[in-house]
Amino acid sequence: MGRRYDPDRRQRIIDAAIRVVGRSGIAGLSHRTVAAEADVPLGSTTYHFASLDELLVAALRQANEGFAAAVRESGALVDPGSDLARELARLMGEWLGGERTGVELEYELYLAALRRPALRPVAAEWADGVAESLARRSDPATARALVALMDGICLQVLLTDAPYDEDYAREMLDRILPRPTP
């Protein structure tokens, strides 16, 4: 029997890895658990991803895209008259108010970079990409500060199970943003 053509197999493996980490954490991730979740032969996972770190890099890159895309596509970045702090606070509220497992997964993968150096460049790509988007409405240093504040607020909400306070987030983001010159 010849090889079956399966152009979506790599993507199915990444999606399966995200589901495994979402359900069992990074400690539950192995080529075997991902192969079973994706319903592919074990050799397929090692063919597409020689190491678990390679698989985690692909999963992190995909997971990180959600919030970054929302920021990038926000009309507040191109409209200098819009309230950027309000828009960012709203976007965080939507993101945190969505499917909680997905948000937790994104942060679990993001924070895995602390112990897995191979993930650090991808985590940095995400922060740099969001900061680059925000720099369209501020300077680069302020954009990095906004990313750090948003990260901090999101982590506090996730770790403490405290409700997200959009008014607080807007006020804190507004404090970082430069005041328009009259």
User: Percent of the chain having pLDDT more than 70?
Assistant: 96
For the chain, which residues make up each domain, given as ranges?
9-60, 64-176
pLDDT at 6 over 70: yes
Mean of the pLDDT values across residues 152-163? 92
Q: What is the mean pLDDT of the chain?
A: 88
- Longest CA span, the chain: 74
Answer for the pair 107, 60: CB distance below 8 angstroms, yes or no.
no
Give CA–CA dist 67/41, Å, rounded: 33
CB atoms within 10 A of CB 7: 6
Domains 9-60 and 64-176 share a fold: no
Amino acid letter for position 43: G
Answer for the pair 96, 164: CB distance below 8 angstroms, yes or no.
yes
Domain 9-60 -> CATH class: mainly alpha
Q: What is the pLDDT of residues 125-147, one digit of tens each?
A: 888 988 998 998 899 999 999 99
Mean of the pLDDT values across residues 160-169? 94
**CA 121-113-57 angle, 5° bins:** 60
pTM: 0.80
pLDDT band at 74 (very low <50, low <70, confident <90, very high): confident
Give CA–CA dist 137/79, Å, rounded: 9
> Per CATH, which fold does 64-176 belong to?
Tetracycline Repressor; domain 2 (1.10.357)
